[in-house]
Structure 1
Amino acid sequence: MSEQAEQAARTTGREAKRIADSRWFELTARAGFVGNGIVHLLIGYLAILLGVGTASSGSETDQSGALQQLEAVPGGVVLLWVVAIGCAALTIRLALEAVVGGRTDSARAWGNRLKNVGKAVVYGVIAYSAASYAVGAGKSSSGSSRSAAATALATPGGVFLLFLVAAIAVAVGVGLVVIGCRRSFWKQLVRPRRPIERVVTVLGVVGYVLKGIAIVVVGVLVAVAAVRSDPDQATGLDGAFDALRSMPGGAFVLVVIGIGFIAFGVYSFFRARYARL
């Protein structure tokens, strides 16, 4: 790379960083945590309904189901746009941090960059889904999961690809459990006063651990789909919740998982206030 190109890249990076650090952009990015919290609250609510038998098996109890619930309430389209814009801003913020945020080439710096990329993908998916429902073009995520699994199984090496997806999902789920148990989520937050700190700690531990367990179940279902070569087994959270409910004592476990998602949702509201951005 020529000296002029390097200088242009550095200038572009500084300008992007300046925009990401601006007050209005920070406020919009924090709204992304609020939007994420709303989605988790609704997923938890739907999971509890499924656990107590109010919702039918096979109903949408995942992210798409939560967004459908938002779409159906008065003013829901406005809320969907709040979720979409906030999560989109947070996606851009995380992407910029991944590109220009690290100042060293150490393994830890690259690890942080990869984490930011992963988070950017998650929030980007939420932003896209929320915007799709806001304009009336939302689709079932479980149907998309089955379609993607069917496509993978029909291609050479598709079984190994599904195993890779399953391994990643399990690793992410275990990672969330570890974050909750170690309370390492505090690295991302500015510690508030003692009473609030205790509340946030409880919400973070419960939310991260139980959400992580749910994602591990998703990974297991994808692995089962790979073993059986059955794309219908590869579902998202809704399929995981259905699988949990069919187990002995599964209704109770599902209610507990739902409470965990609600806890994570409330934690996300606190994160919007105390996140290090």
Structure 2
Amino acid sequence: MSDQAERAARETGRQAKRVADSRWFELTARAGYVGSGVVHLLIGYLVVLLGIGNASGGSETDQSGALRQLAEVPGGVALLWVVAVGTAALALRLLLEAVVGGRSDSARGWAARAKDVGKAVVYGVVSYSAGSFALGAGTSSSGSTRSAAAQALATPGGVFLLIAVGAVAIAIGAALVVQGCRRSFWKQLVRPRQPLDRAVTVLGTVGYVGKGIAVAVVGVLIVVAGVRSDPDQATGLDGAFDALRDLPAGSVVLVAVGIGFLAYGVYSFFRARFARL
């Protein structure tokens, strides 16, 4: 690379960092955590209803179901746009942080970059889904998962790819559980004074553990789909909650996981206020 190209790249990086550090961009990114909290609260509410047997027939208990519920309430479309814009800004900030965050080239630095990129993808998907439902074009995430699994199984080596994706989901779920149990989520926050400190600790612990269990179950279902070469086995959170309900004492487990999502939703509101950005 020539000296002129290097200087241009450095200047672009500085401009991107300046945008990421601006006040308006920070406020928009914090709104992304609020949007994430709303989605998790709705999912938790639907899961608890499913666990106690009060869910309406055909209702979805995953992200798409939560967004569809939000679209149907008064002012819901406006809230969907808040979720879409906020999570998009948060995704962009995470990508900028991964590229121009000033991390070292050590293995730990690259792992942190990969983590930021992964989070950016998740928030990007939420943003896209929220925007789609705001425009009236939302689709079932479980159906999309099955379609993607079918396409993967139709390609050479697709079985191994599907198993690998499931294994990654299981690892992410386990990491969320560990993060909750170890309370390492505090590394991402500025600690408030008591009693808020204690409240956020409880919410974060319960929320990360509950969400981690659900994500791990999704991974297990994807692995099963790969082993059996059956894309119908690969479902998203909706299928994971159904699988939990079918376990012995599954209703109790499901309500507990639903409470975890509710806790994570409230935790996300505190995260919007105290996140290190």
Counterpart in the other structure of 1:73 = 73
Q: Secondary structure at the match of 2:195?
A: helix
Tell me which residue corresponds to 2:215. Answer: 215
Deviation for aligned residue 1:57: 6.5
Aligned-partner SS, 1:276:
coil
Q: Match for 1:117: what amino acid?
A: V
SS at the partner of 1:116? Answer: helix
Q: Residues 1-277 of structure 1: matches in 2 within 5 Å? A: 1-56=1-56, 59-277=59-277
In 1: Cα distance, 2:56 partner to 2:245 partner: 11
1:160-190 deviations in whole A, cap 9, x for unaligned? 0110110110010001011111111000000
How many Å apart are 1:70 and its aligned residue? 0.4
Superimposed CA distance per residue, residues 186-212 of structure 1 (whole angstroms, 9 cap, x where no aligned partner): 000001002100000000000001110
C-alpha distance in 2 between matches for 1:6 and 1:104: 18
Post-superposition Cα deviations, 1:222-276, rounded to whole Å, max 9, x if no partner, equal 1111111111110000000001111110011000000000000000000000000
- Report deviation, 1:104: 1.8
Aligned equivalents of 1:103, 1:254: Cα separation in 2: 40
Measure, in 2, the Cα distance between the counterparts of 1:102 and 1:252.
Answer: 46
- Residue 103 of structure 1 and its aligned partner are, at CA, apart by 3.6
The one-letter amino acid of 2:203's match is L
In 1, Cα distance between equivalents of 2:103 and 2:199: 34
Question: For residue 196 of structure 1, what is the amino acid of its counterpart?
Answer: L
Listed one character per residue, the Cα deviations across residues 87-127 of structure 1 (whole Å, up to 9, x for unaligned) are 00001100000000034211121111111100100000000
1:190 aligns to what SS in structure 2?
A: coil
> 2:226, 2:6 → 1: CA distance?
46
TM-score (norm: length of structure 2)? 0.98
Letter of the aligned partner of 1:220 in structure 2? V
Instruction: State the distance in 2 between where 1:101 and 1:221 align.
Output: 36
1:58–1:242 CA contact under 8 A, matched in 2: no
Contact 1:20 1:96 in 2 (8 A): yes
- The Cα shift of 1:58 comes to 5.3
Specify the SS of the correspondent of 2:235.
coil
CA distance in 2, matches of 1:15, 1:150: 42
User: How far apart in 1 are the matches of 2:224 and 2:266?
Assistant: 33
Question: TM-score scaled to structure 1, two decimals?
Answer: 0.98
Moved more, 236-245 or 55-64: 55-64
Measure the CA separation in 1 of the matches of 2:123 and 2:117.
Answer: 10
Number of aligned pairs?
A: 277
After superposition, the C-alpha distances for 1:17-37 in whole angstroms (9 at most, x for unaligned) are 001100011000000000000
Deviation at 1:59, TM superposition (A): 2.9
Unaligned runs of 5+ in 1: none
1:22-65 CA-to-partner distances (Å, cap 9, x unmatched) read: 00110000000000000000000000011111115753100000
Contact 1:59 1:238 in 2 (8 A): no
Are 1:204 and 1:264, in contact at CA under 8 Å, matched by a contact in 2? Answer: yes
Letter in 2 for 1:10: R
Residue segments in structure 2 that go unaligned for 5+ positions in a row: none
